[in-house]
Amino acid sequence: MMKQDRTIRSVTLMTHMGKMVDMSDFFQNLVGKVESVLGGDVQTLVKQQLQALTQPQTIQTLLDRADQAGLGDKVRSWISQSGNVPATPDEIRAILGSGTVHDLVEKTGLPADAVVTALVHFLPDAVDKNTPEGVLPAAGTTKSA
């Protein structure tokens, strides 16, 4: 089965105060507000953390944690060449663990809910891009997210 068109998958719409808002615009707006309050480039920090989460050894750890949480099939869908099964914020928290979420909050300066929301939208595609053959890459292989 061919992967769904990434453009269609990445343009997730949500209803916000009676209007349809592009989720990526919503996230960009949130990042802009946080950057203006905290200073610095939060978007770069989030991308760096996402890249760290999609290294071969880390993807294996995500899969192991997902298996323990009963969510292994979801993460395997991100690795496989079939469509990515979406995750909820609670599932992302279960896969990552509270320690990882806390570390991401510390490193990005974003609130935990914002970090988890960003990961709900970006982590499946990032894992997918780092497993283009549908299998976990060798531990020495690194690609950017």
17-71, pLDDT tens digit by residue? 334 445 556 555 655 655 555 455 666 777 788 888 888 889 999 999 999 999 9
13's enclosing H/E stretch is strand 13-16
For the record, the structure tokens of 53 come out as: 């989460």
- Give the pLDDT score at 20: 42
CA gap 107, 134 in Å, rounded: 30
Predicted TM-score (pTM) above 0.85: no
* Bridge partner residues of 20 (DSSP): 15
Eight-class DSSP state of 19 = E
Apex 49 CA angle, 45 and 51, nearest 5? 115
Q: Between these two residues, 20 and 128, which has the higher pLDDT value? A: 128
| pLDDT-above-70 percentage for the chain | 66
Q: Between these two residues, 142 and 96, which has the higher pLDDT value? A: 96
